[in-house]
Amino acid sequence: MNSAGTTMPDEKPVSPNRIALKQLPDSSEALTEDFQRYQFYHLGRFHGCPAVYTYHALAWTLRDRLMSDWMNTYAERDQPGKRRAYYLSLEFLIGRALSNHVLNLGLDAASREALQSFGQTLETVAEEETDAGLGNGGLGRLAACFMDSCATLNLPVMGYGIHYEYGMFRQHIENGYQVEEPDHWLRDGNPWEVERSEFTCRVPFGGHTEHFHDKTGIPRARWADTSDVLAIPYDMPISGYRNHAVNTLRLWKSAATDVFDLNEFNAGSYSEAVQAKNHAEHISMVLYPNDSSENGKELRLRQQYFLASASLQDALRQWRAAGNSNLMQFAEHNVFQMNDTHPTIAVAELMRLLLDDERLQWDEAWAITSRCMAYTNHTLLPEALERWPVALFERLLPRPLEIIYEINARFLRQVAIKWPGDIDRQRRMSIIEEEPVRQIRMAWLAIVGSFSINGVAALHSRLLKEGLFRDFVELWPHKFNNKTNGVTPRRWVAHANPGMTALISSRIGEGWIADLSHLARLKPLAASGNEAFHAEWRAAKRANKVRLAALVEAECGVTFDPSALFDVQVKRIHEYKRQLLNVLHVIHLYNRIKHGHLEGSVNRCVLIGGKAAPGYVMAKRIIKLINSVADVVNNDPDVNGRLKVAFLPNYRVSSMEIIAPATDLSEQISTAGKEASGTGNMKFMMNGAVTIGTYDGANIEILDAVGEDNFFLFGLRADEVEALRGRYQPLSYMERDPALRQVIDLLISGHFNPCEPGIFDMILGAMMSPNDPWMVLADFRTYVDAQERVDQAWQDEARWTRMSILNTASSGFFSTDRTMQEYNADIWKLT
Ligand code: 26Q
């Protein structure tokens, strides 16, 4: 790779028709000079100005230094015959960028020196950056970690997403309830994006189709009278770790076409013209705040098609611009990885572009499309599988709908040949669901159109094959594979946990940051005889706990004692994730304290955080319960500091950067078979937390890696959960377990809601129903027992230290570098 603009002797020049851009000097003198120029001459601000301006001045200084690598990386990728991957995702949960670029560019010392001339620290200035919260949770954050690893591995991968004006809503708590506020993250401007209006695309909607024969007599279709929307790209640089590679995340912003406005305007209908403009701009206005599907919303479908169409048009344009022309080679050079079903309308859209615009025959177009699409599934919940009403497609996307019908007709012929007369199977496998209303099954479209289909953890991929996707596995077993998720160690350890990072590097060098398998070299240091290392390990953890305690104090007004066990569950609030089980345990501990049963238990600080989808009534009530229980526990003098409970508002990427390094116990307690993978579990493990968890998702692989002595396993397994369905009797658990009985009785008594009677009845009703799909009460006893094992382990400081070190030392597999290498080896095949 070309680095600094000076071409290395053994390297090829960047591109035949481009000049390598020279790199700016990165000495601290040069950085300080540029930084001060931005501060004074660009922003017009002096010493003592609000820190946000200092943030902007430093961001621009660093951005300048990214530019040469960015353009040179681009030029290197931009050559005929080079294969590329595109990651299509409705979500990229990026978080903050400044510290990440500082780390990747190796400009920590120089940046600090520049800031010192202004009396500022890197930490306070970095705090000024608003999180780019363009995602809901795991799926969106995974996309961001993937982008980081691809840049670090120097893989030619480009991300395509939507430039939402408003990201994930901000959460605050009023009287214990979640209140949502819009997240206008771009208000102060975004120094990390470059508008590239020269690559604007047009995306059609509405209209109708016309069929005709072309000059050579071949039947063709035309999508006419469409209302087009412009897609304007905004590029964000994704820097690799100290390798001079900078990839691109391209986010599309919607805008009205001029023509559209003018026609209406000239017809004298000014307000209609403005309305049309509004309609177009709405597409990229706001991220949908649901972390499971919200069915049938027209705007959401518009977003999906907008992303798919603009991205595919752009990929075709790029491929041509690189000097390619023979479309039959398009699939050799391009692969599109679809992040869940959200962008899978891309299957029909690529067909449309190839048939209608490029004038290929159906078989040619299908050969290309089905060789360059790949689909990742992220859920086992059948209710979360996306379906779209055919009627909506008829109105919004009539031409893609015709193509889907044709794909389906040809596919069902294949099914009929393999299983003649099996009508039931044809009905099950049809992309169109007929009853009760005609709907398009997006997952089926994705499977039919893709050459690779993967789940995100070993258990998840197996359950998909045995369950939801079984019919398709019988037809195409070779398409299905697993790619266990990961997280980027740059953000989640090197940046978030500088204390532990320095300690690890002092013993095994810095190589682990770019090759996490090196962490295994810490294993011998976990044994006794390494007391100095152990003491330093504990000291690093303690400093992180002090930092988190300050955050909890500031945000929740609750005092956490850093010598207590920090017990943390942060993730979206969802019944299957069972925050309720956590709360039941908290009430159980409170009960014990109230009854004077203090033997064997340890001081605990329980932290819970996460957002509930605004329309998810039960999830919002669970937040209220957590806050109500916290109020009672924290203010009861009998508790006397033995137990603290806090709900951290507005949980987001930048909060996790403080939380994960400070956590002792990581709560991963979903109903087995429901959490596809989990990735928070990996962030905690890397930072030396021990997991208490069910046999679910990637927990299983974490357990395999670290061993059962260093993991607190409990609860029913996925097959046991399924076997219990239909015979589940929650009341029988209460009869057999007096501790559970007392917890439920205390809830029923209204102890936690004296002024708001009845507000938790819906929660009690759900937990005590034989139809509770999450079987909360079934796992209560084994959970409490596992928590008692936690207490025992915590009391033995040397043992806990060993477990903590072994968790970090065993986490090498969970780097997205490994995940990306697997995607590349098995699916993308980039060179
Ligand atoms: C769909 C349609 C309409 C509106 C919203 C949505 C929507 C949005 C986001 C549906 C699902 C999501 C997000 C899902 C998600 O985050 N899944 C998680 O993905 C992680 C990465 O693979 C896994 O680790 C988690 O187990 C999984 O829950």
476 and 527 belong to one structural domain: no
455 and 511 belong to one structural domain: no
DSSP string, 156-224: -EEEEEE--SB-SPEEEEETTEEEEE---TTTT--TT-EE-GGG-EEE--S-EEEEEE-TTS-EEEEEE
412 and 540 belong to one structural domain: no
**Residue 468 burial (CB count, 10 A):** 18
Which ligand 1 atom sits closest to the C-alpha of 485? 22
pLDDT, one tens digit per residue, over 129-144 is 999 999 999 999 999 9
Task: Determine if residue 705 is left, alpha or beta; phi over 0 gives left, psi from -120 to 50 gives alpha, anything else beta.
Answer: alpha
CA of 696 from ligand 1 middle (Å) equals 16
Please identify which residue in the block is written with the tokens 């329309």.
615
Check if 736 is active-site: no
What ranges make up the beta strands (E) of 554-635?
A: 565-570, 604-609
Is the pLDDT score of 337 beyond 80?
yes
- 291 CB near ligand 1 (under 6 Å): yes
- At residue 263, the pLDDT reads 67
What ranges make up the beta strands (E) of 214-318?
A: 219-224, 229-239, 246-256
**Residue 257 burial (CB count, 10 A):** 18
Residue among 65, 441, 577, 604 flagged as catalytic: 577
- At residue 259, the pLDDT reads 59
Examine residue 815 and state whether it is found in any structural domain, yes or no.
no
Q: Between β-strands 452-455 and 439-441, what pairing exists: parallel, antiparallel or unpaired?
A: unpaired
Which ligand 1 atom sits closest to the C-alpha of 300? 3
CA of 792 from ligand 1 middle (Å) equals 36
CA of 508 from ligand 1 middle (Å) equals 37
- 485 CB near ligand 1 (under 6 Å): yes
Residue 229 phi, psi dihedral angles, 5° rounding: -125, 140
Which ligand 1 atom sits closest to the C-alpha of 140? 16
CA of 574 from ligand 1 middle (Å) equals 12
Question: Residue 569: helix, strand or coil by DSSP?
Answer: strand
Check if 418 is active-site: no
Is the pLDDT score of 349 beyond 70?
yes
Contact by Cβ (8 Å): 498, 122: no
Number of structural domains the chain divides into: 3
Contact by Cβ (8 Å): 265, 256: no
Check if 577 is active-site: yes
Is the pLDDT score of 356 beyond 50?
yes
User: Mean pLDDT across the stretch 568-576?
Assistant: 98
Residue among 56, 253, 399, 571 flagged as catalytic: 571
- 486 CB near ligand 1 (under 6 Å): no
610 and 726 belong to one structural domain: yes
Examine residue 831 and state whether it is found in any structural domain, yes or no.
no
CA distance 694 to 703: 10
CA of 765 from ligand 1 middle (Å) equals 27
Which of 1-15, 74-88, 279-293, 699-713 has the lowest average pLDDT?
A: 1-15
- 139 CB near ligand 1 (under 6 Å): yes
- 303 CB near ligand 1 (under 6 Å): no
178 and 67 belong to one structural domain: no
Which residues on neighbouring strands pair with residue 181, listed in sequence order? 170
pTM: 0.97
260 and 362 belong to one structural domain: yes
- 456 CB near ligand 1 (under 6 Å): yes
Examine residue 100 and state whether it is found in any structural domain, yes or no.
no
pLDDT band at 9 (very low <50, low <70, confident <90, very high): very low
- At residue 288, the pLDDT reads 98
Examine residue 492 and state whether it is found in any structural domain, yes or no.
no
CA of 291 from ligand 1 middle (Å) equals 5
604 and 459 belong to one structural domain: no
**Residue 71 burial (CB count, 10 A):** 16
- Amino acid in the structure at residue 551: L
Which residues on neighbouring strands pair with residue 85, listed in sequence order? 157, 335
DSSP code of 739?
H
402 and 351 belong to one structural domain: yes
pLDDT, one tens digit per residue, over 69-126 is 999 999 988 889 999 999 999 999 999 999 999 999 999 999 999 999 889 999 999 9
What six digits make up the tokens of 104?
A: 């990747």
Examine residue 52 and state whether it is found in any structural domain, yes or no.
yes
CA of 378 from ligand 1 middle (Å) equals 6
Which ligand 1 atom sits closest to the C-alpha of 294? 3
Check if 683 is active-site: yes
pLDDT, one tens digit per residue, over 483-535 is 999 999 999 999 999 999 999 999 999 999 999 999 999 999 999 999 999 99
Domain carrying residue 49: 1-77+106-130
Q: Atom 6, ligand 1: which residue's CA is nearest?
A: 293
- 290 CB near ligand 1 (under 6 Å): yes
- At residue 396, the pLDDT reads 98
148 and 114 belong to one structural domain: no
What six digits make up the tokens of 734?
A: 């209460």
Which residues on neighbouring strands pair with residue 158, listed in sequence order? 86
Ligand 1, pocket-test mutation among 345, 378, 571, 574, most atoms within 8 A of CB: 378
Q: Atom 8, ligand 1: which residue's CA is nearest?
A: 291
**Residue 767 burial (CB count, 10 A):** 22
- At residue 43, the pLDDT reads 97
Question: Residue 450: helix, strand or coil by DSSP?
Answer: coil
CA of 34 from ligand 1 middle (Å) equals 42
Q: Between β-strands 157-162 and 246-256, what pairing exists: parallel, antiparallel or unpaired?
A: parallel
pLDDT, averaged across the chain: 95
Examine residue 289 and state whether it is found in any structural domain, yes or no.
yes
- 683 CB near ligand 1 (under 6 Å): no
CA of 689 from ligand 1 middle (Å) equals 25
- 292 CB near ligand 1 (under 6 Å): yes
Q: How many helices (H) and strands (E) does the chain have?
A: 33, 25
Contact by Cβ (8 Å): 640, 602: no
CA of 293 from ligand 1 middle (Å) equals 8
Nearest residue to 145 (alpha-carbon basis) of 680, 618, 552, 638 = 680
Angle between helices 51-77 and 98-105 (to 10 degrees): 60
531 and 464 belong to one structural domain: no
- At residue 830, the pLDDT reads 98
CA of 162 from ligand 1 middle (Å) equals 16
Q: Please give the C-alpha separations between residue 65 and each of 11, 298, 440, 523, in angstroms, as whole numbers.
A: 22, 42, 47, 38
Q: Between β-strands 132-134 and 92-95, what pairing exists: parallel, antiparallel or unpaired?
A: antiparallel
- 426 CB near ligand 1 (under 6 Å): no
Which one of 484, 519, 546 terminates a domain?
A: 484
630 and 747 belong to one structural domain: yes
- 675 CB near ligand 1 (under 6 Å): yes
Q: Please give the C-alpha separations between residue 268 and each of 127, 255, 262, 765, in angstroms, as whole numbers.
A: 50, 21, 10, 59
CA distance 31 to 35: 6
Peptide bond connecting 770 to the previous residue in cis, omega within 30 degrees of 0: no
Examine residue 491 and state whether it is found in any structural domain, yes or no.
no
CA distance 448 to 441: 11
265 and 397 belong to one structural domain: yes
Instruction: Give CA angle at 87 (449, 315), nearest 5°.
Output: 80
Q: Atom 17, ligand 1: which residue's CA is nearest?
A: 139
Which ligand 1 atom sits closest to the C-alpha of 697? 26
pLDDT, one tens digit per residue, over 452-475 is 999 999 999 999 999 999 999 999
Which ligand 1 atom sits closest to the C-alpha of 137? 16
Instruction: Give CA angle at 362 (358, 368), nearest 5°.
Output: 70
CA distance 587 to 589: 5
Check if 585 is active-site: no
Which of 196-200, 258-262, 398-402, 572-576 has the lowest average pLDDT?
A: 258-262
- For residue 595, how many C-alpha atoms fall within 13 Å in the half-sphere facing its CB? 12
Which ligand 1 atom sits closest to the C-alpha of 341? 1
Examine residue 309 and state whether it is found in any structural domain, yes or no.
yes
Considering only the C-alpha atoms of the chain, give the largest distance between any 2 of them, rounded to a whole number of Å: 91
Residue among 170, 479, 578, 683 flagged as catalytic: 683
Helical spans, DSSP H, in 373-431: 390-396, 398-418, 423-429
Where residue 324 sits, what CATH number does that domain have?
3.40.50.2000
- At residue 278, the pLDDT reads 85
pLDDT, one tens digit per residue, over 149-158 is 999 999 999 9
Residue among 63, 77, 141, 378 flagged as catalytic: 378
Residue among 379, 671, 679, 801 flagged as catalytic: 679
Check if 604 is active-site: no
DSSP string, 300-366: HHHHHHHHHHHHHHHHHHHHHHTT---GGGHHHHEEEEEESSTTTTHHHHHHHIIIIIS---HHHHH
